[in-house]
Structure 1
Amino acid sequence: MKRATYLLIAGVMAGCIASCSSEKRIAKHRIVTNPINLNYRFQPQDESRREAADPVLEYFKGYYYLFASKSGGYWRSEDLADWEYIPCTTIPTLEDYAPTILPIGDTLYFTASSGQTQIFKNAHPEKDAWEAVDTKLTYRLHDPAFYKDDDGKVYMYWGCSDKEPIMGVEVDPKDGFREIGEAKELIAHHGDKYGWEVPGKNNEEPRQGWNEGPCMLKFEGRYYLQYAAPGTQYRIYGDGIYVGDTPLGPFEYMEDNPFSFKPGGFIGGAGHGHTFQDKYGNYWHVASMTISVRHWFERRLGLFPVAISTRNGMYAHTAWSDYPFSIPDRKTDFDKTDLSMGWNLLSYRKPVQASSALTGYEPSKANDEQIETWWAAETGKKNEWLQVDLQTPMSVNAVHVNFADHNFKVFAPHPPVVYQFVIEGSTDGRKWITLIDEKENTKDEPHCLYPLDKPVNLRYLRICNTKDMEGCFSLSGFRIFGKGEGAVPSKVTGFRAIRNQEDKRIYRFTWDAQKGATGYVLRWGTQKDKLTHAVTVFDHQYEARYFNRDSEYYFSITAFNENGISN
């Protein structure tokens, strides 16, 4: 398969890049960012848009297998970085929402939300050769989840409702997954106490949200039952946890919920996910992220490292997860590192020019750090281009290219949707060098991160279309990462956290605007020495309604720019 051509510089260890946040050299293909760069499928009807959500991921026979709703197939990978797509036609329920998989012995099992529960199996999922199981489970499962305990017993969990609870029951895989005993109610709705369960863009709607997408994890003898809330179309979609001593409870709410949460940054949302261990024993969370512009269910997938301990509980690193980070090839302490490459965002709201633009889709929409907005050229013809001026020469490490598919009329089933282009750099706007050459690309990659072999000092970067295509050449994010040579912002002053005394789920934050700051990272948690949550804000005020009514919180805030992070 044709690969991109990168700028090559002598004296660099082949295929390896130095991280600013550590002394290690990292294989280039293991440097990634969110959303995960998959060939997200266009849907068969409604608005032409890509979608994948409700993911589940398991390690099986030397490969990671990733399933997601409405994808027409699934993916496998040896390293969580490079993914191979496997089209699937032998699972009749593949187009149902919320798939789940379970390895038992030498066989992988699959089911999904459907009117009548059907389970399928495959001992060789690298091949599309799934077979139906004589399924005897009589419960209708919405957002199902398999779980196999250490003693070999198997359980099913399910739930997807703004009224009904999350449920669970033991099943017998040797007898068609027949239920053993009665299903139990495990998690009810408590939006009155837990603000993050309340629906709305800012948790503002006066009703219960949807509790859905359960997942079970066992750690040091205790059972962590996960669930998502309040709705997949919101940036405040997250995953929470109840903890118990048996697979079917009783369960107790984890005070520092939600453990997976990403309301800010380039792309938001971290809900309806699945927590799993990689082959080194590291924990990860794969979850749904939102665009929800063309359709509520226009979604992507995100991958987040997870720290878990009996002392600090469980939390996913999401703050810098849409910046470049590395996939480790060894056991790693995620309580001490978020895997960041230490590269800064250089392109935010820098001057932008383009060959053309449609009204409402101006060039500035390509570097405003919102995947929900995008620049669209007037055509999809060759030589449409977009250029960013960093205003001063900076050391560039990587470019993150996010295509927006504007005015496409693509519907499943469809062949790969392939962009072809070049990315060039310049110090003066006159003499250009090729950084990335994708003129002969054959891969469907709408969210590709391109790390350079070695940092290059540049002021201007531009991307130019090299292929006549349907619709418009368009970008929701042309993001440039590296290191500026100026000063980091000063320490944030004037920070205030004001709690609404009539509704303690609501906080309003204000602080002094710091000179030279690109944005701010607000952190919080219920433990003073472990602030497990974060949101990226590009203003100097913020209101949030997703706190627990009866919890006490600690906060911190830092400023950042292209040069680094304040103290």
Structure 2
Amino acid sequence: MKKLGSLMVILGMAVLLHAQDMRQDTYCNPLNIDYTYMIYNSDKDISYRSGADPAVVKFRGEYYMFVTRSNGYWRSKDLLNWEFVRPGRNWYPQGCNAPAAHNYKDSVLYVTGDPSGAMSILYTDDPASGNWEATPAILHDLQDPDLFIDDDGKAYMFWGSSNVFPIRGMELDKNHRFIKKGETKELFALDMPKHGWERFGENHTDTVLGGYIEGPWLTKHNGKYYMQYGAPGTEFNVYADGVYVADHPMGPYTYQKHNPVSYKPGGYMNGAGHGSTVLGPGGQYWHFASMSLSINVNWERRLCMFPVGFDKDGIMYCDTRFGDYPRYAPAVPGKAGQFRGWMLLSYGKPVTASTTKGNFNPSALTDELTKTFWLAAANDERQWVQIDLEKPADVHAIQINYHDYQSNMYGRYEGLHHRYVIEGSLDGQNWNVLVDRKESYKDTPNDYVELAIPQFARYIRYKNIDIPTPNLAISEFRVFGLGNGKAPLAPKKFTLERHADRRDITISWEPVKGAQGYNILWGIAPDKLYSSWMVYGNEGKHLMKSLTTDQKYYFAIETFNENGISQLSAVKEVE
């Protein structure tokens, strides 16, 4: 009986370890999908994965996601688990570019976005098959198109990707091959002298080049038309989506007071621009967008998703607070998209590794900087990396973000996979398995695992088994959970100084002892603090260059560390 009992315990532990890889109540940006390797820098021997400009639509109970130059697209039942669909008949040879997609009354799914800018509209009633038909008419000079068919059956095409030309639109004859009907109309352009967030460059600091306006996407909600657009440039931390609102698809459009709508300039993975908005499970809207990685090239990107809302005044907003921390998954009733409350345990903590190649040191794994990474001297089962959390903590989730270092891979590959084990320990001597990926044959370049049962540990160790790239490189090894200390206090001496250039403001505060960082929250009313900027470190000052010149704002600030979040400071007004 004792032997049987011991056997049952062992079997129970095996089931538990397997279950740890199956729980999916949360997700974490960037999205963990099998990104395609790009080919348009292959002449320079630059190999990297990328995913950008996502167009996500619901069709017959499933969701389809079309992504720039991916040689196919993805399908999902829950907006969380994505399966790649290899296209068959009539797909774009190098994949679509800045694609558009539209579901017409659940009868036909339309897609367009040829890289050349000259394209027919593809359609199918069975997107899971990969087979498409093409309308015989060709539309010309379209970059970053957006096809929209209204409830009355009238069809429209919007497009734009330029630092010179505005977003434009035209009506199409849906009943006659989608040929152009009527005149092209200019809808709106960037207004950089007025809208600070539309300025080019990292942190909007480039004063020479003009920003780009691109990627229109039209969402209809409660009879209003919300035209989203990306700016100022996909490679920057401040890449965002703004919105204009109208009573008709062709306008006139009015700039929404709360802008940008989708904005994530701080934290680990930055950017939230050139996206799409889709109605997900339970009636919750979601915004999918592009995040900047930009290590190998500027166009190296990842995907993200954030919950979207429309308030009582019809203001569209997107929740990006703690935007690259664990959040409730779309299918969790009543909580979808909300911040889970798990803090980052690994930030700034000591790291040791089996080997290191060059100057790519393991300290990069806990610095929350996207462009740094650890490179192992070999790629085999002897490689490991270990984080000392310095104090025992409750570990709830782990994210491994792999990096492509001289990967020499181009295009779409079958059978890529990441196999590894993550262990936890209280003393650095006795280890328990937290994540078991020994038998995993999935391609998981940004793998996120929620543990079925939280584990109390001080040391967290990654042990490599098999990855698809020639080099083992990881940009960030992130451990989430809750420490057992005290949450920090709210900052004191919180001050706002709006500059003579009213697009700019300096936010100052007295640094808080024990803080990892701060969230600056702001908006157009005390109860509309929809925007946030995560700032790590304790400098106590931050320059923001993203305001609208004629808009009054309200600001507040909170402190966070591995133990939790402070109370929000008093809200302050700035004219």
Name the TM tier (shorter chain). Answer: over 0.9
Picking from 14, 26, 31, the partner of 2:26 is 31
Q: 2:520 maps to which residue?
A: 522
Q: Is the 8 A contact 2:281 2:331 kept in 1?
A: no
* CA shift digits 1:64-119 (9 cap, x unpaired): 00010011110000001111011225313552411111122422111104331221
Kindly report which structure 2 residues correspond to 1:9-408, keeping only aligned pairs within 5 A, or say none: 28-44=23-39, 45=42, 46=44, 47-90=46-89, 91-92=91-92, 95-105=95-105, 106-113=107-114, 114-135=116-137, 138-206=139-207, 207-311=209-313, 313-329=315-331, 332=334, 338-408=337-407
Q: Is the 8 A contact 1:29 1:82 kept in 2?
A: no
Q: Is the 8 A contact 2:71 2:95 kept in 1?
A: yes
- 5+ residue gaps, structure 2, are 1-9, 568-575
Q: Take 2:11 and 2:309, find their aligned partners in 1: how far apart are those partners?
A: 36
CA positional deviation for 1:131: 1.6
Picking from 502, 509, 512, the partner of 1:511 is 509
Q: 2:572 maps to which residue?
A: none
Q: Take 2:469 and 2:315, find their aligned partners in 1: how far apart are those partners?
A: 49
Q: Is the 8 A contact 1:282 1:332 kept in 2?
A: no
CA positional deviation for 1:465: 0.8
CA positional deviation for 1:183: 1.4
Q: Verify: 1:536 aligned to 2:534, yes or no.
A: yes
* CA shift digits 1:517-538 (9 cap, x unpaired): 1110011111122101001101
Q: Take 1:342 and 1:404, find their aligned partners in 2: how far apart are those partners?
A: 27
Q: Is the 8 A contact 1:274 1:286 kept in 2?
A: yes
Q: 2:433 maps to which residue?
A: 434
Letter in 1 for 2:135: V
CA positional deviation for 1:476: 1.1
User: Residues 95 and 468 from structure 1, CA distance in 2 versus in 1: closer, same or farther, beyond 3 angstroms?
Assistant: closer
CA positional deviation for 1:173: 2.1
User: Residues 281 and 152 from structure 1, CA distance in 2 versus in 1: closer, same or farther, beyond 3 angstroms?
Assistant: farther
User: Residues 9 and 543 from structure 1, CA distance in 2 versus in 1: closer, same or farther, beyond 3 angstroms?
Assistant: farther
Q: Verify: 1:554 aligned to 2:554, yes or no.
A: yes
CA positional deviation for 1:330: 6.6
Root-mean-square deviation (CA, aligned residues, Å) is 2.2
User: Residues 495 and 100 from structure 1, CA distance in 2 versus in 1: closer, same or farther, beyond 3 angstroms?
Assistant: same
User: Residues 370 and 423 from structure 1, CA distance in 2 versus in 1: closer, same or farther, beyond 3 angstroms?
Assistant: same
Q: Take 2:552 and 2:450, find their aligned partners in 1: how far apart are those partners?
A: 41
Q: Is the 8 A contact 1:312 1:530 kept in 2?
A: no
Q: Take 1:224 and 1:274, find their aligned partners in 2: how far apart are those partners?
A: 11
User: Residues 523 and 433 from structure 1, CA distance in 2 versus in 1: closer, same or farther, beyond 3 angstroms?
Assistant: same
Q: Take 2:391 and 2:235, find their aligned partners in 1: how far apart are those partners?
A: 38
Q: 2:571 maps to which residue?
A: none
Q: Is the 8 A contact 1:268 1:290 kept in 2?
A: yes
User: Residues 213 and 330 from structure 1, CA distance in 2 versus in 1: closer, same or farther, beyond 3 angstroms?
Assistant: same
Runs of 4+ residues over 6 Å off in structure 1: 6-12, 14-17
Q: Take 2:314 and 2:564, find their aligned partners in 1: how far apart are those partners?
A: 28
Moved more, 424-433 or 100-109: 100-109
Q: Is the 8 A contact 2:345 2:479 kept in 1?
A: yes
* CA shift digits 1:466-492 (9 cap, x unpaired): 237643212111111111110111111
How many residue pairs are counted as aligned between the two chains? 548
Q: Is the 8 A contact 1:282 1:331 kept in 2?
A: no
Alignment identity in percent? 39
1:202 is paired with a residue whose SS is helix
Letter in 2 for 1:140: D
User: Residues 7 and 187 from structure 1, CA distance in 2 versus in 1: closer, same or farther, beyond 3 angstroms?
Assistant: farther
Q: Take 1:468 and 1:10, find their aligned partners in 2: how far apart are those partners?
A: 23
2:364 is paired with a residue whose SS is helix
2:129 is paired with a residue whose SS is coil
Q: Is the 8 A contact 2:434 2:455 kept in 1?
A: no
TM-score, normalising length: structure 1:
0.92
Q: Is the 8 A contact 2:70 2:96 kept in 1?
A: no
CA positional deviation for 1:358: 2.4
Q: Take 1:426 and 1:162, find their aligned partners in 2: how far apart are those partners?
A: 53
User: Residues 331 and 390 from structure 1, CA distance in 2 versus in 1: closer, same or farther, beyond 3 angstroms?
Assistant: closer
Moved more, 414-423 or 454-463: 414-423
Q: Take 1:63 and 1:488, find their aligned partners in 2: how far apart are those partners?
A: 41
Letter in 1 for 2:299: F
Letter in 2 for 1:521: N
CA positional deviation for 1:28: 2.2
Kindly report which structure 2 residues correspond to 1:452-467, keeping only aligned pairs within 5 A, or say none: 452-467=451-466
Q: Take 1:494 and 1:10, find their aligned partners in 2: how far apart are those partners?
A: 53
User: Residues 72 and 10 from structure 1, CA distance in 2 versus in 1: closer, same or farther, beyond 3 angstroms?
Assistant: closer
CA positional deviation for 1:121: 1.3
* CA shift digits 1:144-173 (9 cap, x unpaired): 011121222221110000010101111122
* CA shift digits 1:298-330 (9 cap, x unpaired): 001101100112426111111222111122437
1:271 is paired with a residue whose SS is strand
* CA shift digits 1:273-312 (9 cap, x unpaired): 0011124321110001110121111001101100112426
2:481 is paired with a residue whose SS is strand
TM-score, normalising length: structure 2:
0.91
- 5+ residue gaps, structure 1, are 1-5, 18-26
Q: Take 1:93 and 1:544, find their aligned partners in 2: how far apart are those partners?
A: 42
